[in-house]
């Protein structure tokens, strides 16, 4: 019974971690769906989002200890950080990726790596290399239900992620812009001929993806603290999640994120290996899934035509 509860606890922690991965993976998958390139700078946008959120939150809060104001300023900080990252994402796309849209496939990839270097080292330069704690906007005492403990920040993470995913899904499926996005990802030249402003769609994709990364960054900073290179590993894992789910597929990114989070959390104790090897579990899962189903769990199988 005790071990069951313990595993349920790992599972719960995995879901929380997975929700963060899923939010970040959405940005990767949307950009890949439309531009067919891996945006390696996405992980660093997450880090910028976490820093923006942290600074806005501490500035708004000041000396106040009012519980309601703490929560309000946290959400304001989140919105500010989303807006800032959305603008940053669009700006990066204009400067570093747009001129390379017709170049060979490696050029935008390397350009993205360059942007990633600029962002992460710029942050290390400006904010120092020491890590900072993101203060909880509420009392973070774990709530124990039937032996399972869940902290308020885990609840917040799951709730915010679910809201974001619902908003995104309805945006992509219900609005005109969402329809334009889906059309562009299916066939770019044709949608251009049908009167869709592809440049606007691509800008919008980067804006939404970066805003989601900002939320993911803020939520991740409760568990991982805020530092300049926080985006590298988290971003890489989120990308793995996007590939596991089937890259280019929005539901796939959500599913992949949750699966990866759970596997990472449950896998090490289940296999009886040290928890430091959790990264190995994540990447081994990726390779196994790619070998069994090369297009990911929900990906479409595209045959190469001659």
Partner 1 sequence: MLNFFQLIIIYAGIYALMAIGQNCITGNTGMLSLCHAGFFCIGSYATGIICKTLGLSFWLSLPVAAICSAVVGFLIGVPTLRLKGDYLCIATLGLGEIIRNIATNMNPVGLMSIPRAELFGYQFSSRNKVTFILLVWFFVLVAYILFRQLSHSRIGRAMTAVREDEVAAQSNGINVAKYKIGAFTLGAAIGGTAGCFATAYTLTVQPSSYTFMVSVMVLCMVVLGGMGNLLGVIVGAFIIEFIQYFPQLVGLSSVIPAQATQIIYGLCLVVLMIWRPQGILGRDKYRYGDPRSAKERLVSFFRRGEKKGGKA
Binding site for partner 1 (CB under 8 A): 32, 36-38, 95-96, 99-100, 103-108, 110-111, 113-118, 120-122, 124-125, 232, 236, 239-240, 243, 247, 274, 276-277, 279-280, 282-284, 286-287, 290-291, 294, 304, 306
H or E, element range at 151: none
Query: What's the token pair of residue 83?
Result: 């807006």
Q: C-beta of 291: minimal distance to partner 1 in Å?
A: 6
Q: C-beta of 197: minimal distance to partner 1 in Å?
A: 23
The whole-angstrom separation of Cα 183 and Cα 237 is: 28
The whole-angstrom separation of Cα 87 and Cα 214 is: 11
The whole-angstrom separation of Cα 24 and Cα 210 is: 8
* Closer Cβ to partner 1, 193 or 276, answer by number: 276
Rg (CA), the chain: 19
The whole-angstrom separation of Cα 26 and Cα 182 is: 14
* Closer Cβ to partner 1, 119 or 201, answer by number: 119
Cβ within 8 Å of residue 200, ≥6 positions away: none
* Closer Cβ to partner 1, 65 or 104, answer by number: 104
* Closer Cβ to partner 1, 156 or 228, answer by number: 228
* Closer Cβ to partner 1, 198 or 290, answer by number: 290
Q: C-beta of 299: minimal distance to partner 1 in Å?
A: 10
CB 282 within 8 A of CB 259: no
Q: C-beta of 113: minimal distance to partner 1 in Å?
A: 6
Q: C-beta of 24: minimal distance to partner 1 in Å?
A: 15
Q: C-beta of 190: minimal distance to partner 1 in Å?
A: 22
Q: 226 has which bridge partners?
A: 132
Indicate the burial class of 276 (C-beta count within 10 angstroms; 0-12, 13-18, 19 or more).
exposed
* Closer Cβ to partner 1, 132 or 179, answer by number: 132
């Amino acid at each position: 019974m005790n071990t069951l509860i313990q595993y349920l606890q790992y599972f719960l922690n995995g879901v929380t971690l997975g929700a963060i991965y899923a939010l970040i993976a959405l940005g990767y998958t949307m950009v890949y769906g439309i531009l067919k390139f891996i945006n390696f700078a996405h992980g660093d946008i997450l880090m910028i989002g976490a820093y923006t959120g942290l600074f806005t939150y501490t500035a708004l809060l000041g000396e106040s200890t009012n519980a309601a104001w703490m929560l309000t300023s946290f959400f304001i900080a989140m919105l500010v950080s989303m807006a800032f990252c959305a603008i940053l994402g669009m700006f990066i796309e204009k400067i570093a990726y747009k001129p390379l849209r017709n170049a060979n496939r490696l050029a935008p990839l390397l350009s993205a790596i360059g942007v990633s270097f600029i962002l992460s080292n710029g942050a290390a330069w400006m904010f120092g290399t020491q890590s900072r704690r993101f203060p909880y906007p509420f009392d973070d005492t774990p709530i124990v239900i039937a032996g399972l403990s869940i902290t308020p920040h885990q609840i917040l993470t799951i709730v915010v992620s679910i809201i974001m995913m619902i908003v995104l899904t309805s945006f992509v499926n219900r609005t005109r812009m969402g329809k334009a996005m889906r059309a562009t990802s299916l066939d770019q030249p044709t949608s251009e001929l049908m009167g869709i402003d592809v440049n606007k769609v691509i800008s919008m994709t980067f804006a939404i993806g970066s805003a989601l990364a900002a939320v993911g960054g803020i939520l991740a900073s409760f568990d991982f603290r805020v530092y300049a290179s926080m985006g590298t590993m988290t971003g890489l894992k989120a990308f793995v999640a996007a590939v596991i789910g089937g890259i280019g597929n929005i539901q796939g990114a959500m599913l992949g994120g949750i699966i990866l989070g759970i596997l990472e959390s449950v896998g090490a104790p289940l296999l009886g290996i040290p928890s430091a090897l959790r990264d190995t579990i994540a990447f081994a899962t990726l390779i196994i899934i790619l070998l069994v189903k090369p297009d990911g769990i929900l990906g479409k199988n595209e045959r190469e035509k001659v």
